[in-house]
Amino acid sequence: MEYARTMERDIFADVIEKIQLLTISQQKFLQEMLAGHEKVSAVSRKKLLMESFGIWADRKDIKDSIEYINQIREGWGIRLERIKD
């Protein structure tokens, strides 16, 4: 349990340090985003998820959803490799 608390403190300190490296306008943007953030209840999340089913059903450019997702994920790997360099 103590290890988890120490890790949380380290992560929090790292986040604060990174925020301080942002420009003033970036910090203000982050502050506005966090101030406007409202928690969504589990019931609301489930309702939103249920309402989202089928939203791409009429898309003509997606033939096979599994193939489509695999292509997107493949792109993630390529971008990740580019970022590492």
Q: Show the tokens assigned to 37.
A: 């953030």
Whether the predicted pLDDT of 26 surpasses 70: yes
Q: What is the pLDDT of residue 23?
A: 92
Share of the chain above pLDDT 70, in %: 93
Dump pLDDT digits (tens) for 51-80: 888 777 778 888 888 888 888 888 888 888
Q: What is the pLDDT of residue 40?
A: 64
CA neighbor of 27 nearest in space, from 37, 39, 16: 16
Whether the predicted pLDDT of 15 surpasses 80: yes
Query: On the CB side of 27, how many CA atoms lie within 13 Å of its CA?
Result: 10
State how far the alpha carbon of 46 is from the alpha carbons of 36, 40, 41, 55, in Å. 21, 10, 9, 16
Dump pLDDT digits (tens) for 36-46: 777 767 777 78
Classify the C-alpha dihedral 4-6-7-8 as positive or negative: positive
